[in-house]
């Protein structure tokens, strides 16, 4: 059941809207809706505007938060986050350290899978935004630390970095990992990827692999079906095991 303050998505015939149930009203070309009328509804219920236009109610999942949530910059794409989860085997028993939180998109995905997530963001304004997005996702197992990841302590099964990485970050991540744990970085450029690879090859004996993150959509028209010509590269993922 939807409570006051919950995020919801209203799905119409042509558009969808990311709203918060509670005080106030929402207006579009389809008419107005009292947001308080969303409280007590269930996912899948319908609500009508004052013009009689119907919207279906949906609770947001991580892909919706990626699309609709407020951003502080360019977050990792869901396909790249999925590669992190797949190559590390992230599961409900894992304690995860994440850094370069940004708007919290990766942490939200990780928080729905792992036991705990500690995410570090050195920029206070980004950390505050991430906390709001994580609260909207109703994840109480994700803690945002507004500080440098080099101050992190503890023991983790997975360490994930999406930030400007120097050798000291790799060394520190290694010190935090359990034996058999995974270190993963997302880097947008070759030069930074080389820094990570060189540092990992000095430390990690369990194997180091690097992948280019690629994805191509299919375009289907009356003429036929073919891969999209849009550029599909997003970055590089380096995975190392202790």
The reply to whether 112 and 137 lie within a common domain is: yes
Write out pLDDT tens, residues 129-142.
999 999 999 999 99
Mean pLDDT over residues 115-125, rounded?
A: 97
Q: Is pLDDT above 90 for 230?
A: no
The reply to whether 138 and 51 lie within a common domain is: no
Q: Residue 115: inside a domain, yes or no?
A: yes
The reply to whether 54 and 74 lie within a common domain is: no
DSSP state letter for 50: T
Predicted confidence at residue 238, as pLDDT, reads 98
Q: What is the reported pTM?
A: 0.90
Predicted confidence at residue 229, as pLDDT, reads 79
107 or 216, higher pLDDT: 107
Domain of residue 208 covers: 64-241
Using alpha carbons, select from 12, 42, 5 the residue that is nearest to residue 28.
Answer: 12
Looking at the structure of the chain, the number of domains it has is: 2
Q: How far apart are the first and last CA of the chain?
A: 44
Q: Residue 72: inside a domain, yes or no?
A: yes
Q: Token pair for residue 214? A: 């690629």
CATH number for the domain including 20? 3.10.330.20
The reply to whether 69 and 46 lie within a common domain is: no
Report yes or no: 197 and 238 within 8 Å, Cβ to Cβ.
Answer: yes
Q: Residue 2: inside a domain, yes or no?
A: no
The reply to whether 44 and 129 lie within a common domain is: no
Distances from the Cα of 14 to the Cαs of 43, 46, 68, 69, 186, in angstroms? 19, 15, 16, 20, 35
The reply to whether 54 and 118 lie within a common domain is: no
């Amino acid at each position: 059941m939807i409570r006051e303050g919950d995020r919801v998505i209203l799905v119409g015939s042509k558009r969808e809207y990311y709203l918060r149930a509670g005080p106030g009203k929402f207006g579009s070309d389809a008419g107005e809706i009292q947001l308080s009328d969303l409280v007590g509804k269930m996912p899948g219920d319908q609500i009508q505007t004052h013009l009689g236009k119907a919207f279906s109610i949906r609770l947001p999942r991580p892909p919706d938060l990626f699309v609709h949530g407020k951003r502080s910059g360019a977050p990792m794409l869901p396909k790249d986050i999925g590669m992190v989860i797949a190559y590390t085997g992230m599961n409900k028993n894992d304690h995860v350290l994440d850094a370069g939180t940004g708007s919290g998109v990766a942490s939200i995905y990780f928080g729905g899978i792992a036991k705990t997530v500690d995410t570090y963001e050195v920029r206070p304004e980004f950390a505050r935004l991430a906390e709001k997005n994580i609260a909207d996702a109703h994840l109480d197992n994700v803690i945002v630390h507004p500080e440098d990841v080099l101050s992190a302590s503890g023991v983790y099964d997975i360490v994930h970095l999406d930030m400007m990485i120097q050798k000291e970050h790799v060394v520190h991540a290694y010190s935090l990992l359990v034996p058999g744990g995974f270190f993963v970085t997302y880097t947008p450029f070759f030069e930074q990827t080389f820094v990570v690879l060189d540092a990992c090859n000095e430390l990690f004996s369990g194997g180091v692999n690097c992948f280019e993150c690629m994805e191509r959509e299919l375009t289907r028209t009356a003429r036929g079906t073919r891969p999209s010509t849009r550029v599909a590269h997003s970055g590089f993922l380096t995975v190392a095991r202790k």
